[in-house]
Chain A
Amino acid sequence: MAKIISIHSFRGGTGKSNTSANLAVLMASEGYRVGVVDTDIQSPGIHVIFRMDNEQIGHSLNDYLWKKCKIEDAAYDVTASAIGHASPEDRAPKLFLIPSSLNTGEIARILREGYDVAKLNDGFQQLIAGLELDYLLIDTHPGVNEETLLSIAISDHFLLVLRPDKQDFQGTAVTVELARKLGVEKISVLLNKVPASMDPELLKEQVRTGYGCEVVGLLPLCSEMAELASSWIFVNRFPEHRLTQELSNVAQHLLK
């Protein structure tokens, strides 16, 4: 049965979209059909990491939410560019990206009118069935608005990405509690941009104490990731890097 994994941050700048993109690539590479939906409609970004520009995006998630197209029409097969060893004829690995519109008018409309959360949920189900997905990753909008909370609520696994930072930690604690109240059973934490000077075991222990959930990964702050600046997929560019190794461990955890 397909699994829905929502990836969320309390604040922006945690590296959530980058992490989502890299995890999606790693998970698909293990021989699965994976979809990534950019529900960060207010500030879409994950398409950049897959090097899709405005011209390449025909239909987007916005069009589906406004009933202009089927959600499958907004799904782009990025397997060839994102996963080198895949053959187009194979059933798997397959990686699909469902981007949000970059059109400011479309973004403004979402901000003004909101959208039907039940329709979004139906869209997820249609993607899973139509594209025969094993995993659907949802890149969520930071903060806790109604639409985001619902994406979290219908997930099988909720992955929180945060920096080892007091403000991130305090704010994320609220999201953890709300997710529990919405019945999310599996909640994990991924610490990103961890400076080398910090003690990993202490950080893990503090998350465990504060949130009552496990740290599934601790990604080092590294200049290579910063230099890449969302322009390509890190794990493909630096396959031997320790950050890639740690991300692989997280991907394995999500595949369990």
Chain B
Amino acid sequence: MNQSLLVELLDTDLRHTIQTWTFDSDSPFHIGRSADADVVIRNPYVSRTHVYVSSSDSGWNLVSISDLGVIIDGKTVRTAEFKDSVEFQLARKGPLMRVSVYSSVPGDSFDAKATIGEEAFNIPILILDERKRDEEVSAIENQDFFGRLQDIATNLKRKNDQGRT
């Protein structure tokens, strides 16, 4: 079984995925602000070359090349080992990131999106639940205030049109 790495840039407050990158297990990569970084993060708190990720015998290594370090569980560290997944912040005020290990079936070229499905990445897809929408619309429409509002709006618009011409 082949292993691949999924790198995610996370929204600091909402923690949803903003951007993703994937790498094969045999290709180490680096994260930084520099345009030639494998994972380019344009953020002033990120160093030009900030973090280097590579595989080791027992799992994966994350090394902060930057003196600013990375913050894991509230502590500033220079190196970390992980097996499945690691969440870290690039410097104290920098962006939040996650690196996770995924297995793929041998022979299959690894396409993270196709394999895991977009749901797993928490990438939002704009699909509407029309029934839910219609229920919520009716709930508002059937309140007294909405009918009153429609009347007020009609009158005001008429008045505005007269005033403006």
A and B part of one assembly: yes
Task: List chain A positions with a Cβ less than 8 A from chain B.
Answer: 1-2, 13, 117-118, 121, 125, 128-129, 144, 146, 149-150, 153-154, 163-166, 169-170, 173-174, 177-178, 181-183, 195-198, 203, 206-207, 209-211, 221-224, 227
Q: Are B128 and A169 in contact (CB under 8 A)?
A: yes
CB distance from A182 to the nearest CB of B (A): 5
Inter-chain CA distance A160–B124, complex, in Å, is 18
Is B105 interfacial (CB-CB < 8 Å)? Answer: no
Q: Are B149 and A182 in contact (CB under 8 A)?
A: yes
**A166-B125, A181-B146, A211-B128 known; 5 other A-B pairs, CB under 8 Å?**
A166-B124, A195-B123, A197-B123, A209-B128, A210-B128
Question: Chain B interface secondary structure, helix, strand, loop or mixed?
Answer: helix
CB distance from A69 to the nearest CB of B (A): 21
- Some 15 contacts from A to B, beta carbons below 8 A apart, are A118-B156, A163-B124, A166-B124, A169-B124, A169-B127, A170-B129, A173-B130, A174-B140, A178-B141, A181-B141, A182-B150, A203-B126, A206-B125, A206-B126, A210-B128
Inter-chain CA distance A100–B123, complex, in Å, is 36
Task: List chain B positions with a Cβ less than 8 A from chain A.
Answer: 13, 16, 18-20, 41-44, 123-130, 132-134, 136-137, 140-141, 145-146, 149-150, 152-154, 156-157, 160, 163-165
Q: Are B140 and A144 in contact (CB under 8 A)?
A: yes
Q: Which of B123, B132, B146 is in CB contact (< 8 Å) with A198? A: B123
Name the residue on B nearest A117 (C-beta): B152
Name the residue on B nearest A222 (C-beta): B42
Q: Which of B127, B133, B165 is in CB contact (< 8 Å) with A1? A: B165
Name the residue on B nearest A173 (C-beta): B133
CB distance from A151 to the nearest CB of B (A): 10
Contact residues in B for A129 (Cβ distance below 8 Å): 163
Contact residues in B for A221 (Cβ distance below 8 Å): 18-19
Q: Which of A2, A129, A174, A203 has the most chain B CB atoms closer than 10 A to its own CB?
A: A174
Contact residues in A for B13 (Cβ distance below 8 Å): 13
Inter-chain CA distance A149–B13, complex, in Å, is 29
Q: Are A183 and B163 in contact (CB under 8 A)?
A: no
Known A-B contacts A165-B16, A174-B133; A150 and B126 likewise in contact (beta carbons under 8 Å): no
Inter-chain CA distance A224–B33, complex, in Å, is 13
Inter-chain CA distance A37–B108, complex, in Å, is 56
Q: Which of A2, A182, A206, A209 is in CB contact (< 8 Å) with B164? A: A2
Known A-B contacts A164-B126, A166-B125, A223-B42; A150 and B140 likewise in contact (beta carbons under 8 Å): no
Contact residues in A for B41 (Cβ distance below 8 Å): 223
Contact residues in A for B153 (Cβ distance below 8 Å): 150, 153-154, 182-183
Q: Are B132 and A170 in contact (CB under 8 A)?
A: yes
Name the residue on A nearest B33 (C-beta): A223
Inter-chain CA distance A199–B146, complex, in Å, is 38
Q: Which of A169, A183, A195 is in CB contact (< 8 Å) with B18? A: A195
Q: Are A169 and B133 in contact (CB under 8 A)?
A: no
